[in-house]
Amino acid sequence: MLTEHQITFRVRYPETDGMGVVHHSRYFQYLEMGRIELLRASGISYAQLEMEGILFVVVKVECRYKAPARFDDELTLTTRVARKTHVRIDHQYLLKRGETVIAEAATTIACVDRQGALRVIPEEAIGT
Amino acid sequence: MLTEHQITFRVRYPETDGMGVVHHSRYFQYLEMGRIELLRASGISYAQLEMEGILFVVVKVECRYKAPARFDDELTLTTRVARKTHVRIDHQYLLKRGETVIAEAATTIACVDRQGALRVIPEEAIGT
Amino acid sequence: MLTEHQITFRVRYPETDGMGVVHHSRYFQYLEMGRIELLRASGISYAQLEMEGILFVVVKVECRYKAPARFDDELTLTTRVARKTHVRIDHQYLLKRGETVIAEAATTIACVDRQGALRVIPEEAIGT
Amino acid sequence: MLTEHQITFRVRYPETDGMGVVHHSRYFQYLEMGRIELLRASGISYAQLEMEGILFVVVKVECRYKAPARFDDELTLTTRVARKTHVRIDHQYLLKRGETVIAEAATTIACVDRQGALRVIPEEAIGT
């Protein structure tokens, strides 16, 4: 499985708020896209995992906002697996517009079953 | 069951967009709150209906935007049952800030089971 | 200027709701992306228009929901200019997943200045 | 000015995601409501501050998710001013459903002018 992946996307209009910048809550939706596309680039479909009852929940997040992002900005998000245990994965993120750092973030996700109980991350979710 | 109900709420910051006004997509989230609170005021919990496998899906919406709404505005939404059949309910809505009309809207919802198949609206969802 | 344009995108996780399908309010965010990309494909940047004080507000929308869309679905949206006057543009939309029609919609947008007053659509917003 | 305030609100339908729980990004919108209502309870309107060119931007956030929240849950958020300097305010948050802790969070906000430059927090934003 890949340990690092990059995606590029544009800021959508309703992601900005009345201040004319991307609302700080929206960044976590970008980070989630980063994790999902890191999986896809490794040959794993998160939608498929969910159907098999392999779910990931977010346990902890943190984000430092360095510069505002605006509507239509083309942003590049680098998602990196920082640490992996039997039940948790730590990711680190760098969000940039060109050479400008927009945000730095880190998350911890845990693997659960459909009832929300912690489970060991199965091989299908790790890839080969 | 009540055929008309009014709710009052404030516009939240991330509901506004870069133009400084409530994004037009957000109004449908307000309308949904209007329907849910109309049910609650009639003694029916939509959350409870869902647990029993009685779901409502939106089939059709329309909305005319008359004046912009801004962050922290206190809005009043009147939700009215316009027509009811065995499987569908039409609602009409009037959204105002004081005497100013912000939007007029109409929706059609249909009752479905967990598989998404149309079903007759059961009595629990109509109230007494 | 182009009168029709197609975009393809994937459903993001938080666009789905507790029913496991895309929330009906989200479709209007997709339609807006359709309009913005139709402009871009015609050589016009909506972000640039905004900086010049040429804004478009949504006056009226309607949408008919035909089939649910789910997380990670790849959707294709066709945006078509249906009618254009000096101050308004009507668009029609067809949203599909493969051959399945997900939704049909129509919107009317109007050109306003920074104060929200109606203005004639300038040539920069029409293209050549 | 108050240093602690509590608000109670219900989870809205589109705040939940396909997993049937509140999407982790949404919590930051709740925290923002907590800050705004803490101000209001202290006699300060954030909307008014904005009109005067006194804006607050989020510099850093962190959140630990303890238990899922679901549609229609009634949640109580306690917002507390943890530390205050001339330009920054640190808040801490506790989100609960009854006695169940849903999340613990912390944020740092900074005062900026309309151009986004850091400025000293004025007295109007602190209250008396």
Say if B70 is an interface residue toward chain A (CB within 8 Å). Answer: yes
C28 contacts B68? CB cut-off 8 A: no
Which residues from C are below 8 Å from B106, CB to CB?
none
* Interface ipTM: 0.95
DSSP B37-96: HHHHHTT--HHHHHHTT-EEEEEEEEEEE-S---TT-EEEEEEEEEEE-SSEEEEEEEEE
List strand residue ranges (DSSP E) for C23-71, in order: 55-65
Q: Reduce the DSSP state of residue D2 to 3 states and report it.
A: coil
Supply the pLDDT for residue A102.
98
Q: Of all residues in chain B, what percent carry a pLDDT higher than 90?
A: 90
Say if B19 is an interface residue toward chain C (CB within 8 Å). Answer: yes
Which residues from A are below 8 Å from B16, CB to CB?
17-18
Does residue B128 have a pLDDT over 60? no
Residues in chain A, pLDDT under 50: none
D36 contacts B14? CB cut-off 8 A: no
Per-residue pLDDT, averaged over B11-29, amounts to 96
Query: What domains are there in chain B, each with its CATH number?
Result: 4-125 (3.10.129.10)
C102-118 pLDDT, tens digit per residue, is 999 999 999 999 888 99
Give the residue on A whose Cα is nearest the Cα of D109: A65
Say if B16 is an interface residue toward chain A (CB within 8 Å). Answer: yes
DSSP tag of A39:
H
D4-49 pLDDT, tens digit per residue, is 999 999 999 999 999 999 999 999 999 999 999 999 999 999 999 9
Per-residue pLDDT, averaged over B46-55, amounts to 94
Q: Are C38 and C30 in contact (CB under 8 A)?
A: no
How many Cα atoms occupy the beta-carbon half-sphere of C69 within 13 Å?
32
C-D CB pairs within 8 A amount to 31
Give the residue on D whose Cα is nearest the Cα of A28: D25
B58-72 pLDDT, tens digit per residue, is 999 999 999 999 999
Element (H, E) at D28: helix D27-41
What is the strand order of the sheet C100-112 is part of? Answer: B4-10, B74-84, B88-97, B100-112, B55-65, C55-65, C100-112, C88-97, C74-84, C4-10
Q: Give the model's confidence band at B106: pLDDT under 50 very low, under 70 low, under 90 confident, else very high.
A: very high
C68 contacts B59? CB cut-off 8 A: no
Which residues from D are below 8 Å from C13, CB to CB?
17-18, 23
Residues contacting B38, CB < 8 A, separation 6+: B2, B4, B5, B79, B81
D61-118 pLDDT, tens digit per residue, is 999 999 999 999 999 999 999 999 999 999 999 999 999 999 999 999 999 998 889 9
Per-residue pLDDT, averaged over B1-26, amounts to 96
Per-residue pLDDT, averaged over B6-28, amounts to 96
Does residue C127 have a pLDDT over 80? no
C5-57 pLDDT, tens digit per residue, is 999 999 999 999 999 999 999 999 999 999 999 999 999 999 999 999 999 99
Does residue D128 have a pLDDT over 70? no
Which residues from D are below 8 Å from C16, CB to CB?
17-18
Which residues from C are below 8 Å from D18, CB to CB?
13, 16-18, 20-21, 70-71
pTM: predicted TM-score of the whole model, two decimal places: 0.96
Supply the pLDDT for residue A31.
98
Supply the pLDDT for residue D123.
86
Supply the pLDDT for residue B116.
87
Q: Give the model's confidence band at C126: pLDDT under 50 very low, under 70 low, under 90 confident, else very high.
A: confident
